[in-house]
Structure 1
């Protein structure tokens, strides 16, 4: 059996197909073919092969700017928590914190790894987005939202505040949920582990709160941003409770809880912005690339790219992956550790990255057509994925068996990459969050 990350040597057919799909990539002006492909879709999901690479963030921002400016995309959902990004959303819309620049707003990100969003690349894009929104009517402004599920306590806190101001008669439900979680000192892992010892959970309380908030916001969330914020915080709290309970049981289905939540938020954002709206999703390749074209499917795992395709194929979905041959990356040696700049070795022989390097040798845009039956697009080989925890000595374990033509609709390729530029150095959290990951990641 061929090891993950290796396969038979790339034949001339594979290399010829790669070259036939590729065009040079320098800056934003070289994205024309991809922009044309993405312009007709309602959902464009753009990945990254690591959370710590400058080129991935920079070119994704270039593509997003062009789709916003030239084709009317009006919202962005990212792999981050709802409460954190809601503050950014209000800032880019000119509604709060206008005495700050993007770097000041990003300082509010406290959850490890802060460098994933509090970096120069994201700050530069947000400063641009703030300027783009200035003076535009609210309906034409671009929103910036968090899709993730980790914000259990932050979301509960936001719900209590909203209920006190907007639905005081629902305060008992909010307090009931809050008091249920209080003994665990805002540590979701302590709560989750306690449910393994004593089978008493806060599930009923937080689900009841979600139902109460939904009842009061359902008919307003489409027009009222504050109602949307309340509804999404209630949803995040309920799904976070489910996620943490599932995770401590060692059940990989916690991955499905998380990605289904993110896909559900995508649906709600599309509904909030209206039937004609177009949205962008920024997440890791492992969330964006269709799970059915990887070994994740063997383990019963789904992801955002798969779910968005299944739910919205008729409206148009484009999934864009990113990949590189070698370079440097920001990551941590262990979960919760401070970040460091690490070397990314040359791609493993037989991997997709190895074939791309052999065929191209320079950055490129590859746009896939409707026929994905060619020798490269239909080939199953390793495709590198670097998370927030990484060791270059163990790089061979970071390859996900992938059929490129099934996983993505386009790919941005880079020969040499450089590390992301954090706004500040990471401080180890008192209680680090833990994340489930699919096999091979």
Structure 2
């Protein structure tokens, strides 16, 4: 019996081993013994699968729809599942699944309207987050233009427009704040956020701030090009970014200024610029991506501490998970940093699917997209979740019992839809324990490509 089968069938591995051993010890001919052992193994495995599927079926909470325009009453079980947590990770199996985006929109609406979550952090660059936050506060601009890569979809734009409607209602006193948590690039608007504040409130600092940002702002808009800079130049940019952070901190302390809402955003924007410069100092990939996810987590914590309210973190399953799903790509992730920082105050909700298609890049450099097909893997957790007879459902992985309780602990293949289509490369990460990575799952049986323009 191979290790993969042990991982998939978990606690039944002993029975499978026993069945194989019994066949091997038969007094009959070797050929017959092998046949008996194989038949017994298959039958036992099938029994195991059936018992796990039935256990999952009994404990899953059916969701009526993924349509965010429909009532949210089927999401009520989330209230007890999330409890008093101040941070909730909202994962996605791909960056291009229509039904997953719509379901996450429903989750956001429920978290905002029923549980008091008002900070929305997303795997989008800080500068785009500033523009999207201005849009949901004032209606200025076109949200589709501020969403990049695979996010300018009809589904996500509809969610941003709902946020704008929510904020424009005077009855909603606590407004949603939109935060771009990511650091893939810094456009000029990020630097202008700091410069314009200094120009208005502390003009004596303006020459030094502008000089510190002059060269940095001209190269920070393209991460790949920035990484080609010499270490000496990158360290100079980091020192200049740190100088601005200190200038702001010292000046506001000297004037006994409390952090107004505007000043909190400006200070954190200066810190984000510093974080960008620090992130690309390491020469090795693992160190850089660890810093990347560390800063994603730190920006989320800032939102909760400085803006008040509770914080949602929207991103790929890999980033919001409580541990490492694929060590080669992400040796430590934002969800793990959050878990270390805030403990049980962080609840990770992963999203899974069994079949369908999703939007991904054919060529990132040429901005060409297409629909990729979800590969089948009958040994995967996604396949087993597909045996539940609901189109979509919630599953609290911490409170399962019976066969499902053991199954979610087992390490097994897990679907991980990438942002780029790479032919002949498996879409599944091996050795993923659902319970180690997530607290709650939202499973949607069949998904279709997101609608991107």
Do the aligned partners of residues 21 and 40 (structure 1) sit closer, same or farther apart at CA in structure 2, a change above 3 Å counting? same
Deviation for aligned residue 1:209: 1.5
Equivalent residue number for residue 18 of structure 2: none
Alignment check: 8 A CA contact 2:414 2:432 kept: yes
- List aligned pairs for 1:252-263, cutoff 5 A: 252-263=286-297
Equivalent residue number for residue 416 of structure 1: 446
Deviation for aligned residue 1:421: 1.0
- List aligned pairs for 1:2-41, cutoff 5 A: 7=8, 11-12=48-49, 13-27=51-65, 28-41=72-85
Q: Which deviates further from its counterpart, 368-377 or 234-243?
A: 368-377
Alignment partner of 1:241 out of 258, 277, 296: 277
Aligned-partner SS, 2:451: coil
Does structure 1 residue 284 correspond to structure 2 residue 316?
Answer: yes
Extract unaligned runs of 5+ from structure 2: 10-44, 66-71
Aligned-partner SS, 1:419: coil
For residues 198 and 44 of structure 1, what CA distance do their matches in structure 2 show? 38
For residues 344 and 221 of structure 1, what CA distance do their matches in structure 2 show? 55
Alignment check: 8 A CA contact 1:221 1:228 kept: no
Equivalent residue number for residue 436 of structure 1: none
Do the aligned partners of residues 320 and 395 (structure 1) sit closer, same or farther apart at CA in structure 2, a change above 3 Å counting? farther
For residues 343 and 220 of structure 1, what CA distance do their matches in structure 2 show? 56
Root-mean-square deviation (Å)? 3.0
Equivalent residue number for residue 407 of structure 1: 437
Aligned pairs, how many? 404
Does structure 1 residue 151 correspond to structure 2 residue 185?
Answer: yes
For residues 266 and 350 of structure 2, what CA distance do their matches in structure 1 show? 32
For residues 383 and 195 of structure 1, what CA distance do their matches in structure 2 show? 39
Q: Which has the higher contact order (CA 8 A, sep 6+)?
A: 1
Equivalent residue number for residue 19 of structure 2: none
Alignment partner of 1:303 out of 304, 329, 333: 333
Does structure 1 residue 77 correspond to structure 2 residue 112?
Answer: no
Aligned-partner SS, 1:147: strand
Alignment partner of 1:376 out of 363, 387, 407: 407
Aligned-partner SS, 2:224: helix
For residues 120 and 88 of structure 1, what CA distance do their matches in structure 2 show? 15
Equivalent residue number for residue 24 of structure 2: none
Equivalent residue number for residue 209 of structure 2: 174
For residues 173 and 402 of structure 1, what CA distance do their matches in structure 2 show? 50
Do the aligned partners of residues 77 and 382 (structure 1) sit closer, same or farther apart at CA in structure 2, a change above 3 Å counting? same
Does structure 1 residue 330 correspond to structure 2 residue 359?
Answer: yes
- List aligned pairs for 1:90-129, cutoff 5 A: 90-94=134-138, 97=140, 104-109=142-147, 111=148, 113=149, 115-116=150-151, 118-129=152-163
Do the aligned partners of residues 197 and 147 (structure 1) sit closer, same or farther apart at CA in structure 2, a change above 3 Å counting? closer
State the structure with more CA Rg: 2
Extract unaligned runs of 5+ from structure 1: 425-441
Does structure 1 residue 204 correspond to structure 2 residue 235?
Answer: no
Equivalent residue number for residue 318 of structure 1: 347
Equivalent residue number for residue 386 of structure 1: 417
For residues 248 and 193 of structure 2, what CA distance do their matches in structure 1 show? 12
Do the aligned partners of residues 371 and 413 (structure 1) sit closer, same or farther apart at CA in structure 2, a change above 3 Å counting? closer
Deviation for aligned residue 1:126: 1.9
Deviation for aligned residue 1:259: 0.9
Does structure 1 residue 141 correspond to structure 2 residue 170?
Answer: no
Alignment check: 8 A CA contact 1:160 1:171 kept: yes
Aligned-partner SS, 2:239: helix
Alignment partner of 2:165 out of 127, 131, 155: 131
Alignment check: 8 A CA contact 1:45 1:320 kept: yes
Equivalent residue number for residue 39 of structure 2: none
For residues 150 and 138 of structure 1, what CA distance do their matches in structure 2 show? 33
Q: 1:159-190 CA distances to partner (integer Å, 9 max, x unpaired)?
A: 22332222222223323322343674854433
Q: 1:24-81 CA distances to partner (integer Å, 9 max, x unpaired)?
A: 2222432221243225321111110111111111011101111211222221111111
Alignment check: 8 A CA contact 2:185 2:222 kept: no
Alignment partner of 1:165 out of 193, 200, 212: 200
Alignment check: 8 A CA contact 1:39 1:71 kept: no
For residues 220 and 316 of structure 2, what CA distance do their matches in structure 1 show? 31
> What is the TM-score when the length of structure 1 is the normalising length?
0.82
